[in-house]
Amino acid sequence: MSRIGKKTIVIPEKVEVSLTDGLLTVKGPLGELSRQFKQQIVIKIDAENKTINLVPEKETVDNRALWGTYGSHITNMIDGVTKGFEKSLIIEGVGYRYAVAGSKVVLNIGFSHPVEVEIPAGLKVETTKGDMKIVGIDKEVVGSFSAKIRSLKPVEPYKGKGIRYVGEHVRRKQGKKTAA
- Per-residue pLDDT of 32-51, as tens digits, reads 999 999 999 999 999 888 99
Shared-domain flag, residues 33 and 91: no
Rounded average pLDDT over 64-77: 92
Rounded average pLDDT over 112-141: 94
- Nearest CA-CA partner of 141 in 77, 71, 70, 75: 77
pLDDT at residue 81 above 70? yes
Mean pLDDT taken over the chain: 91
- The arrangement of strands across the sheet holding 51-56 comes to 9-10, 51-56, 41-46
Rounded average pLDDT over 87-113: 92
- Give per-residue pLDDT as tens, 163-179: 999 998 888 888 887 77
C-alpha dist (Å) from residue 94 to 58, 97, 127, 130: 58, 9, 17, 11
CATH number of the domain within which 48 lies: 3.90.930.12
Domain count, the chain: 2
Shared-domain flag, residues 119 and 150: yes
